[in-house]
Structure 1
Amino acid sequence: MTYRLTKTAAIAATAVAAGLGITACGGGTTAGAHSASLATRTSATASATPSSSTTTKTPKATPSKAKTHKAKAHKSKAPETATARATAKKVSRDEVRPTVTTRFVTGTATVAFQTVRKYDSTLAYGTSRVQRAGVAGLETVTYRQQLVGTRVSTSTVVKRVVTRQPVDQILVIGTKKATPTPTPTPTPTPTPTGGGSSSGLDLSRAAMWDRIAQCESGGNWHINTGNGYYGGLQFSYSTWLAYGGGSFASRADLATREQQITIANHVYNASGLSAWGCAGAA
């Protein structure tokens, strides 16, 4: 705007100068007057124009445009900032959220053996014995594991392969009921009937046998110390039976004094007192 006003003023000044020149050369009073009038109007217009341009200066509008441009720029940046924040938030969540992976793991496990029970009628009731010991087997197990980060969250068996079969244990259980042991019947002791040999008893030398018994057993006719000799006269088991003691009792300590004296007389008749260590007591 200022450039146009300046150019107009220059044109007006040139026109005035040209009018003056024409007058000086004698071009006529009317043309000079016309030129002067034109110059005067032009000057007036030129004088009025700067005043109008002063009130409507363009630079005052420039800050308003700048503010509008900044506001638009701010508005255009707002969506970009929200998008950037959302992207950053998504990236942050992805970084915090652990990775879920799947893997397969193979291991070895034992296979338990079973116990087979058998019943035996020859084995006492309430007793048992192991006929064959059990042996555990082996198997290869494959697991599918799900990991959250480095931590195993689930583990599932997907395959089992038995590599060694287990051996069952055999247990024998007795069913035989115990038979009650019969009570042995005691052997009746013969009752002495007299002192003659005809009655089966021989009580001759009774006093001598009493003295020998006192030396051999302290006079206890039913003694059994477990040393292999029995009764008052300390008969061995074999001697007692060899001389007929079995007709009275199975051992000398189970027989009466009279019966032991009778067998002692049988021995005495065969070999004298050589069988007794206390023969001197006779």
Structure 2
Amino acid sequence: MSFTIKGAAVAACGTLLLAGLTIAPAAAATPGAVTLNLRYGGVSRTVEVHGVDTVAGALAQLKLEVDADDVVAPGLTTTLSDGLDLVVDVVSTKTSTKKVTLKYSTIKTATKKLYKGDSKVVKKGRNGKAIRTYLTTTVNGESSTVVIKEKITKKVINKKVLVGSNDKRAINLARLAKWNKIAKCESGGRWHINTGNGYYGGLQFNLATWRSVKGQHFAKYPHKASKAEQITVANRLYEKRGFKPWSCRRVL
């Protein structure tokens, strides 16, 4: 069995460029010959050389291509001996560039200013852009690629989010007398009423308004929350809009 490796035949300063080789196992040892266990480019063969005494001389005689990127072991100046294991890893490299998108990260910070389950975006995220230079190295036909340089053309801005860690549902009964008057007008003072008209509880919250001030901290529906909890949620809404959301504010 034989194989052929083609190339150019030049030898200088320890670098060999050789061509046109056919290697076949020798039928019988030649007087003065040295037998080598050669693995070239990942392919193993037993070869015979004669009249040379170094690895460089053997490679030249065998007309094997070896350039500055290739790895030869043992080295080119090593003295030959019968049965020597000679390995030549054929290595090539190339570079390439590519525009890439850099994904932003989301940074979450716990805060007691928010209740558990709530969050607040304090800085929006933005993807960045870069030009990357890659080095691809091929060894005996197997390639691997790494980034060797990166130029940022658009800076990444990470998203920052505050995440609630407060598990206490503080009750706020401010304006209690006024809320009692409004409830008497809105629902007859029935704090757990649900007539099916889309308004719930003593203060007749609709779901959208209830949720807008985090009423779900206490209950999914307003009429399922206690009187104190409904008043607490009403005070949250009051901080934003006063008594304006209630038509019964006229009774105050």
TM-score, normalised by the number of residues in structure 1: 0.30
Structure with greater helix share of residues? 1
Judging by fraction of residues, say which structure has more strand: 2
